[in-house]
Amino acid sequence: MKILLSFLQDTGGVPYPIPSYRFWTYYIKNGIEEAGMEWTELQDADWAKGLTFSEKSPELQEWKSQIWEDQLAFIRKNQKNIDLFLTYLYPKQIDIHAISEIKKMGIPCVNFFCDNIREFHVVPDEFKVFDLNWVPEFESLEMYNKQNVQNIHLPMPMWVDRQARSLEKITETNLVSFIGSKDILRERLLSEVINKGLPIEIYGRDWVRKQENTFSNSNKSLINVALNQWDFIKANGIKEYLLRRVNTLGANSKKEIDPAFLHPDIDFSEYIAITRNSSVILGINRVPTHKRLHSHPIKYSRLRDIEAPMLGACYLTEHCHGLSSMYELGKDIMSYNTSEELVDKASFLLNHASVRESLRINGQNKALKELSIPASLQKIKMALFR
């Protein structure tokens, strides 16, 4: 199968000031190649740039017009060498007319999107034009099915280098580790666990406090604050504004984590080594959002739930509904619901080397064989071409 990609590529310069995005292209291209399939792309297409523009701005409309014109021209020229158009596009990046034109050429169109549960109450109209929507969140399937939008439930597209798959090269550190950027929910959970007596080594962006500029807030006028709040209300409604206010006030009650457990952000090689060599690697699936109180957060399976087992980690992650659709819990990976359960299960794993080894073997086998990009592409192929 020959796949045309639009997966948040950019032109390779300085990354845009948007959440990490370049790894998606790296994963999907390598996964396609491992599947024995081929990929192609519109050269120098800056798909990621579309995320930098505000909704309905003239700049966004100009970008959309140009990039879709170029994409359609490329497809018309190479139509015979394209079996599938696979995208990772946000609604504002999508040109419904262009997708319809591609479908008329006989090329199926599939869009992957991984923030459905946080971003949407209903499926965006722009997604409905696709032949198939790749939905990784189990919790979002009801939304798609209720609106009769074509979808396929598949894991997050994850790929790890073959050199990082060997279990023989793992040297355990006897540590429990968490890797991920700081947010209020992660901080609150980890502080609870550490205060209950379980040491956790924490790595990632923003955990180590930088020296703050004491004058950073001096130019923020009350008028600017009020305008920002009004813009938020117009975009999200009064209910979500009140939820955000309650969450903001609640954030002040969090407990500080002993700096001895906190480490700065790490590079990719360190990330791989810590994930593989920690005796237990933790996953946290709760996410902060102004759509829900922090005391009852949204939880759904994240990319780490695929990546850590693929790397051969002994993986303990926060329970959510989607996990049991991928793994046999207790055999492939382990999960927890509360901070107390996290402490109990992590302590158990630290004291039982044979259980850790079994989880590493079973979790990796399941992830590489059934939850990989090659496995997902075969399921997409069967759904579209049967």
Q: Which residues of 96-129 are buried (b: 16+ CB within 10 A; e: fewer)?
A: eebbebbeeeebbbbbbbbebbbebeebeebbeb
The distance in angstroms from the start CA to the end CA of the chain is: 14
**pLDDT tens digit string along 30-74?**
999 999 999 999 999 999 999 999 998 999 999 999 999 999 999
Q: Strands 298-299 and 286-287, how do they pair?
A: antiparallel
Mean pLDDT of the chain: 90
pLDDT at 269: 95
244: amino acid identity, one letter = R
pLDDT band at 256 (very low <50, low <70, confident <90, very high): confident
The percent of residues above 70 in pLDDT, for the chain, comes to 87
pLDDT band at 251 (very low <50, low <70, confident <90, very high): low
**pLDDT tens digit string along 342-357?**
999 999 999 999 999 9
**pLDDT tens digit string along 178-234?**
999 999 999 999 999 999 999 999 999 999 976 444 344 445 465 665 555 555 455
pLDDT band at 76 (very low <50, low <70, confident <90, very high): very high
124: amino acid identity, one letter = P
Q: What is the pTM of this model?
A: 0.87
Q: Which structure tokens are listed for 280?
A: 């237990």
Cα–Cα distance for residue pair 41/309, rounded to 1 Å: 30
The percent of residues above 90 in pLDDT, for the chain, comes to 81
**pLDDT tens digit string along 272-330?**
999 999 999 999 999 887 665 656 788 999 999 999 999 999 999 999 988 999 999 99
